[in-house]
Structure 1
Amino acid sequence: MSDTRHTRVLIIGSGPAGYTAGVYASRAMLEPILVQGLEPGGQLTTTTEVENWPGDTEVQGPDLMVRMEAHAKAMGCEIIGDYIQSLDLDSRPFQAHGDSGTTYTADAVILATGAYAKWIGLPSEDAFKGFGVSACATCDGFFYRGQEIVVIGGGNTAVEEALFLTNFASKVTLIHRRDELRAEKILQDRLFKNPKIEPLWFHELEEVVGTDNPKGVEGVRVKHTKTGEITEIPCKGVFVAIGHAPANDLVKDKLETHMGGYVVTKPDSTETSIPGVFAAGDLTDHKYRQAVTSAGMGCMAALEAERFLAEQEDTAGLAAQ
């Protein structure tokens, strides 16, 4: 049976931005509801060591998100394990329709849906997803003990995945279309010092090859970006780590976006193009994409939502006089 729940502030998403917004909105006595989405805890639940969270020299990503969820709950935030399928921003109050059948109505909405892994888009890549092709080393690395694997990419994500996979693989080939990495220097230093990792410069993935019965990856064909020469590399696993895209499905046709789909916010603010709707974290941040900046934006969104609601009440009070 369908149910309707009303809240002054609805928070959609459960990464650092969402949980921090939950803490601050609760402290403001707004009694927020936070809907976690398909991946409670967000992207940090698929990482291992986090070394740049202030106050923790090193913390496991999943552990950090468990702590943040517990903090939000302790402050009074109601956290619900549901998934928002659609969002109506034309009505007041706003309406969000959950996969559970529940409709959530809210006077203000904080969007903290984060981002998701990008794929190259090859038919062979899609054909072997879950059968040797992955975008999450911490999820699937264990299955490749003693095997040779490849990682595609050249940024922080690719280098972090390659380093993590050396815990399991006998060899990791990092395939990058240029001859230098975009990753932070400290990560590059670790990668170049690791004897299990071999970079392959000026190459891009052309095709994933494997067997159908049983289904599994046997290798990749890569193309030299300058000569066009094709090389086949034997491997049992392919990890695609070419970055992330904003999880904007709920609002891409409703809010102003830029830079490939990131939600636009006003300068020094989390306000979006619709009053009462705020965006925080990787959904809006195409530049930094850090847990700590996401948390900061979650704080900003909650404070701005509190101010917005207070102004609405003041306006309503004056109209009633």
Structure 2
Amino acid sequence: MSASEMYDLIIVGGGPGGLSAGIYAMRAALKTALIEKSVPGGQINLSDAVENYPAIKHIGGAELAMMFAEHAQTYGLEEINEEVTAVEPGLDHHTVRLADGRTINTHAVILATGGTPRKLQVPGEEAYYGRGVSYCAVCDGFFFRDKDVIVVGGGDSACEEGLYLAKLARQVYLVHRRDALRASRILQQRVEAECKMEVLWNTVVTEIIADDSGVAHVALQDTQTGAERGMPIDGVFIFVGFEPNNQLVPAGIRMTPDGFVMTDPQCATQIPGIYAIGDLRDKTYRQIVISAADGCTAALDAAHYVETRKAGKLDASCELPEALTHP
């Protein structure tokens, strides 16, 4: 890769969305590079098992990640193992800057940097992720059929995921640090009406304890009295927020108050040639298959954008958003 080399497409992030974008971009004959600072596959590498990806009944998360990567590699997708420090939009081309000092010029950029579930930051949470600690009821709820689980949180996501788990688990305890839920009233009513759900008010989880089989116990604390107690449990589902990895999103691109990038149905932002996909993008559901679909959509639209640009049909009078020209 020379300093003056121009790419058709740069994909930032190597999760399911980014790798799917790479597959479709290569099939569209775009000169493409995917940049990932860690291992391909993103967060699915941390999943013990995936059972809801179409046509694959059961597979380990790391194995599925490897399959995504190997599929992209069969098309000769160039992969750069480095951290991206900035994405700078331009009229003639966009520039991607790397931590090692290199810069890459490209017609289009797909941001596939994902997001991260907000953590409780308690002992045992990280150590037992995938062994009873989960941040996705749809992904992992099946493994807790007829077992007792805790759902931590008080917003819409916690209530929705708790109600989903109530269809599978023997008992669901909703642990909330306050004396009132933040969820919408209709969800609160559904929680109250669900006989398999019990709300533990003014309570926080202070530690997650496991045995050889996985999570077996949690330590709880009353937020008003400070009293502590233990509770046997089979699983802990945490829904206290989700944080998009939006540090590389250029100024001027619209985001929700929570920091998710707003796009059109083609995953395009309002800056021509810059796309956002996967968990970075503002949407209702966050699943592997949806991220993969985003990658396909963005790559196909980017191919059309690049072809049009190369053909000289792109409106030369197109201007950058005012936020970019007037910092």
In structure 2, the CA distance between the partners of 1:48 and 1:253, relative to structure 1 (3 Å rule), is: same
Q: In the alignment, what sits opposite 1:308? A: 305
Partner amino acid, structure 2, of 1:137: Y
When normalised by structure 2's length, the TM-score is 0.71
Instruction: Confirm or deny that 1:132 pairs with 2:113.
Output: no
Q: State the 1:5 CA deviation.
A: 5.7
Tell me the equivalent position of 1:66.
Answer: 66
Give the Cα–Cα distance (whole angstroms) in 2 for the partners of residues 115 and 136 of structure 1. 20
Q: Is the 8 A contact 1:175 1:201 kept in 2?
A: no
Match of 1:190 among 162, 165, 168: 168
Number of the residue aligned with 1:277: 274
SS at match of 2:169: helix
* 4+ residue runs over 6 A deviation: 235-239, 316-319
Cα separation, partners in 2 of 1:53 and 1:93, compared to 1, 3 Å = same
- AA matched with 1:308: Y
Q: Percent identity?
A: 28
Q: Does 1:294 align with 2:272?
A: no
Pick from 228, 231, 251 the counterpart of residue 232 of structure 1: 228
CA contact (8 A) 2:89 2:250 kept: no
Deviation at 1:27, TM superposition (A): 0.8
In structure 2, the gaps of 5 or more residues are 173-195, 209-217, 317-327
Which letter maps to 2:275?
F
Query: Which structure has greater strand proportion?
Result: 1
The number of residue pairs the alignment matches comes to: 280
CA–CA separation in structure 1 for the residues paired with 2:69 and 2:4: 24
Distance 2:97 2:202 in 1: 41
Cα distance between partner residues in 1 of 2:314 and 2:226: 71
Mean Cα deviation higher: 111-120 or 18-27: 111-120
Following TM superposition, by how much is the alpha carbon of 1:35 offset from its aligned partner in structure 2, in angstroms?
A: 0.7
**Which amino acid is the alignment partner of residue 258 of structure 1?**
T
Corresponding position of 1:253: 251
Shift of 1:284: 0.7
3-state DSSP class of the match of 2:9? strand
Q: Which runs of 5+ in 1 are unaligned?
A: 142-148, 211-217
Show CA shifts across 1:154-208 (max 9, x none): x6279749949x8xxxx865445489841286643332279xxx97624355574
Using the alignment, how far apart are the partners of 2:202 and 2:138 within structure 1? 17
Which amino acid letter does the alignment assign opposite residue 201 of structure 1?
V
Aligned-partner residue type, residue 97 of structure 1: R
Partner of 1:100: 100
Over 3 Å counting, the alpha-carbon distance change for 1:183 and 1:238 in structure 2 is: closer
**Separation in structure 2 between the aligned mates of residue 199 and residue 135 of structure 1, nearest angstrom:** 27
Question: What does residue 265 of structure 1 align with?
Answer: 263
State the TM-score, normalizing by the size of structure 1. Answer: 0.72
Kept after mapping to 1: 8 A contact 2:95/2:103: yes
Q: C-alpha displacement at 1:48, in angstroms?
A: 2.2
